[in-house]
C-alpha cells in the first residue's frame, strides 16, 4: 500500500496519517517532519531548507526528491508507506512516479483532505507539537492531559515557527498555486479519493476506513 496524503496546511494530514499508520502498520514519511528534524540537528541541508519553510515557502524540488528517494528505499518501506506532504508540485509527482516505476511499484491511492478555509487558520494557530516525539495537539480540539506537556513523553510542547500568521498566509498561497493542481493530476489517473475533513478526527477516520481497506490496509 502506497498512499499519498494531500490537503492544505492544517487539513489534518499528520493527524489522520498517525491513525492510518496505527491501523495499517506501514511507516509514515512526512517531508515537513524530516526537514524540521534535520534543522534541529543543525545539518547543512536542514539549515538550508529552514530558510524556505520558516517563511512558508516550498523547499526546492531537487532537495526534497533526493531525501524521499533515500527514505522510500529503506527496508521498512517494503510493505508500503504513507507519504504526508509529498509530492507538493507536479514535478515532484512526475519524479515520484518515475522512482516507483524503477522499483516496479505504484501509488495505490491519494487521499485529499478537504476543509473549510476558516478552519485551517484556527487549526494551525492553536496547534502545539512535541519537539521530542512529534505528537501533535491543539489548544481546544485536542489539548494534552497535562497543560503544555506531551502525553507520550512529558516534553514541553512548542508552537511550530511556521505557524505564525505571515507564514500561514504564504503556505496557503503556495498550496493554492503549486500543490492544488495535483488534485486534477491524480483525478485523471483514477487515484483521487476526496475526504470531507471538517468533522472530528475520529469521525474523519471512520469515513476513510472503508477506502483504506479497499486499498489493502493491513494485508
Ligand atoms: P508540513 O509539515 O508538511 O506542513 P503542512 O503541509 O503545512 O501541513 P501541516 O503539518 O501544517 O498540517 P497537517 O495537514 O499535517 O495538519 P495537522 O494534522 O498537524 O510542511 C512544512 C513545510 O516544509 C512546508 O511549508 C514546506 O516549506 C516544507 N515542505 C514539506 N514537504 C515539502 C515538499 N514536498 N516540497 C517542498 N517543500 C516541502 O493538524 C493541524 C492542527 O489541527 C493540529 O493542532 C491538530 O490537532 C488539529 N486538527 C487536526 N484534525 C482536526 C480536526 N478534524 N478537528 C479539529 N482539529 C483538528
5-25 per-position pLDDT tens digit: 999 999 999 999 999 999 999
Spot the catalytic one: 28, 88, 123, 128: 88
The reply to whether 95 and 138 lie within a common domain is no
Going by CA atoms, what residue is nearest to atom 21 of ligand 1? 32
Pair (106, 19) in one structural domain:
yes
Label the pairing between strands 136-138 and 109-114.
unpaired
Q: How many domains does the chain have?
A: 2
Band of residue 166 on the pLDDT scale cut at 50, 70, 90: very high
Same domain? 61 vs 109:
yes
- pLDDT above 70 coverage of the chain, percent: 99
Atom number, ligand 1, closest to the C-alpha of residue 33: 2
> Does one domain contain both 38 and 140?
no
Indicate whether 35 and 136 sit together in one domain: no
CA-to-CA distance for 23 and 35, rounded, in angstroms? 26
144, three cell numbers: 494534552
pLDDT reported for residue 134: 87
| 8/44 same-domain check | yes
Residue-by-residue DSSP string for 136-169 = EEETTTB--SSTTB-TTT-PBPB--TT-SHHHHH
Dihedral, 163, 169, 172, 178 alpha carbons, nearest 10: -110
Q: Which of 5, 8, 11, 15 to mutate to test the pocket of ligand 1 (most atoms within 8 A of CB)?
A: 15
CA angle, 41 then 81 then 144, to 5°:
60
* Out of 73-87, 189-203, 204-218, least confident range: 204-218
Q: How far is the CA of 120 from the centre of ligand 1 (A)?
A: 10
- Structural domain of 157: 127-162
Inside any domain, residue 120: no
Please tell me the number of Cα atoms within 13 Å of 38 on its side-chain side.
19
Question: Mean pLDDT of all residues in the chain?
Answer: 95
Query: Is the predicted pLDDT of residue 152 greater than 80, yes or no?
Result: yes
- 131 and 97 together in one domain: no
Query: For the CA atoms of 148, 150, 153, 155, what is the dihedral angle to 10 degrees?
Result: -40
Average of per-residue pLDDT across 198-203? 94
Q: Which residues contact residue 27 at a Cβ distance below 8 angstroms, ignoring those fewer than 6 apart? A: 21, 76, 77, 81, 82
194 lies in a domain? Answer: yes
Q: Is residue 219 included in any domain, yes or no?
A: no
- Residues 91-145 have pLDDT tens digits of 999 999 999 999 999 999 999 999 999 999 999 999 999 999 889 999 999 999 9
Report which ligand 1 atom has the smallest distance to the Cα of 136: 46
What is the DSSP secondary structure assignment for residue 3, as one 8-state letter? E
**Whether 127 contacts 10, CB under 8 Å:** yes
Same domain, 44 and 148: no
Q: pLDDT value at position 219?
A: 63
Same domain, 28 and 111: yes
Atom of ligand 1 nearest to the CA of 167: 25
Name the active-site residue from 13, 28, 123, 128: 13
Residue 24 in domain: yes
142 and 49 both lie in a single domain = no
At 216 the pLDDT is: 84
183 and 144 both lie in a single domain: no
Q: Which residues line ligand 1 (CB under 6 A)?
A: 7, 9-15, 30-32, 35, 52-53, 56-59, 64, 85-86, 88, 92, 123-124, 126-127, 136-138, 141-142, 162, 171, 200-201, 204
Q: Is residue 121 part of a domain?
A: no
Structure confidence at residue 217 (pLDDT): 83
Number of H helices, E strands in the chain: 9, 7
pTM for this prediction: 0.96
Q: Catalytic annotation on 160?
A: yes
If asked whether residues 96 and 36 sit together in one domain, one would say yes
Amino acid at each position: 500500500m502506497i498512499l499519498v496524503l494531500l490537503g492544505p496546511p492544517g487539513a489534518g494530514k499528520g493527524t489522520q496519517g498517525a491513525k492510518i499508520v496505527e491501523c495499517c502498520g506501514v511507516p509514515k514519511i512526512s517531508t515537513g517532519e524530516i526537514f524540521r528534524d534535520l534543522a534541529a540537528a543543525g545539518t547543512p541541508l536542514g539549515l538550508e531548507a529552514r530558510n524556505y519553510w520558516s517563511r512558508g515557502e516550498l523547499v526546492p524540488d531537487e532537495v526534497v526528491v533526493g531525501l524521499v528517494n533515500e527514505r522510500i528505499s529503506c527496508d521498512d518501506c517494503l510493505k508500503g508507506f504513507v507519504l504526508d506532504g509529498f509530492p507538493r508540485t507536479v514535478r515532484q509527482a512526475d519524479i515520484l512516479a518515475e522512482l516507483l516505476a524503477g522499483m516496479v511499484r505504484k501509488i495505490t491511492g491519494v487521499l485529499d483532505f478537504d476543509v473549510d478555509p476558516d478552519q485551517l487558520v484556527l487549526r494551525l494557530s492553536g496547534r502545539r507539537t512535541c519537539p521530542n516525539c512529534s505528537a501533535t495537539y491543539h489548544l481546544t480540539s485536542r489539548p494534552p492531559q497535562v497543560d503544555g506537556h506531551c502525553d507520550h513523553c512529558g516534553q514541553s510542547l512548542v508552537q511550530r515557527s511556521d505557524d505564525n500568521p505571515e507564514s500561514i498566509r504564504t503556505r496557503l498561497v503556495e498550496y493554492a498555486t503549486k500543490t492544488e493542481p495535483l488534485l486534477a493530476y491524480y483525478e485523471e489517473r483514477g487515484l483521487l479519493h476526496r475526504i470531507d475533513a471538517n468533522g472530528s478526527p475520529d469521525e474523519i477516520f471512520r469515513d476513510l476506513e472503508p477506502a483504506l481497506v479497499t486499498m489493502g490496509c493491513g494485508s
